[in-house]
Amino acid sequence: MTVLVTGASGFVGGAVVARLHANGTSVRTASRAPLDLVPGIEQLRVGDLAASTDWGTALRGVDAVVHAAARVHVMHDVAADPLAEFRRVNVAGTVRLAREAARAGVKRFVFVSSIKVSGEGTRPGRPFRADDEPDPVDPYGVSKREAEDELRLVARETGLEVAIVRPVLVYGPGVKGNFHSMMRWLHRGVPLPLGAVHNRRSLVALDNLVDLLVTTLVHPAAANRTFLVSDGEDLSTTELLRRTATALGTRARLLPVPAPLLQGAARVAGRRAVADRLCGNLQVDITPTRELLGWTPSVAIDTALERAARHFLGQQPR
């Protein structure tokens, strides 16, 4: 079996390549620039992900595709028309790859989508399910939903088997963005006003996400299905900070500021979205994922946090 992985320079795509190669699977990557990969992984250069990308050589002899490349969500987008830019890459580029894959005889196409297709938050006791009506809010989420819809159309028209996976927040060794910032604050002992937040949020360790993506490559029940994925244990922001601090070998300095007060102050400061992520709920129900695929998260949260913390600490100046 030969698998083409896009986005191999990224956090998720790179981990998928490593797992497949370790399993003895023939792996090919397609990227804009050369990658620092272990010997034995075939690398091909392609242009930007767009409606005109030539995938002919990259898809020759390929049995399955893991499509992890995307224009990713950014906090401060400088594009004049962000939605148009997201559509150009995440929709048009994805559809081009899928149709070319179908023409090349590829059997399975695994698409790394986003929980933002489902929405930005959940009500208490009402986690997102894969069959809920999508409710994306920002341009990134809208583009991922449109890409999902187009992929289902390609599947109906061509017979290409499409498996869609919507991850929640992904963390693990080498994580960037807000999770990295959180570890840095905890490591430095910065006091944080997050000691009384009683929300519930789903997370997914990189190892667990990769395990599910590899499972969907071959499992018969994954064809033309959408899957939500998490670690199977939801945490409050306060719990996450405390358990991450423990993994870092320190103690979280958390001030017990009530969540409503935090949210009110954030609205006044124009940072409502940040407060919503810190104080709001976002849970997913992975029961269908477990039952359809016979899959379960293999790495516990504390183990995954320790792996992320070990990598973080190894990158700190001595």
Q: Give the dihedral of Cα atoms 288, 295, 70, 146; nearest 10 deg.
A: -20
Q: In the annotation, is 140 catalytic?
A: yes
Collapse the DSSP code of 19 into the 3-class scheme (helix H, G, I; strand E, B; otherwise coil) and give the result: helix
165: which strand partners?
112, 227
* Amino acid at position 173, single letter: P
Q: Give me the sheet containing 26-31, strands edge to edge.
A: 42-45, 26-31, 2-6, 64-67, 108-112, 161-167, 225-229
Catalytic residue among 55, 109, 111, 140: 140
Which letter, b or e, does each residue of 33-50 get, where b requires 16 or more Cβ atoms within 10 Å of its Cβ? Answer: eeeebeeebeeeebeebe
Report d(CA 40, CA 22) in Å as an integer: 11
Report d(CA 47, CA 31) in Å as an integer: 7
Collapse the DSSP code of 234 into the 3-class scheme (helix H, G, I; strand E, B; otherwise coil) and give the result: coil
Residues 6+ away with beta carbon under 8 Å from 138: 73, 116, 120
Residue found by looking up tokens 């190892």 in the block: 207
Report d(CA 193, CA 189) in Å as an integer: 13
Q: How far is CA 118 from the centre of its chain?
A: 13
Catalytic residues: 140
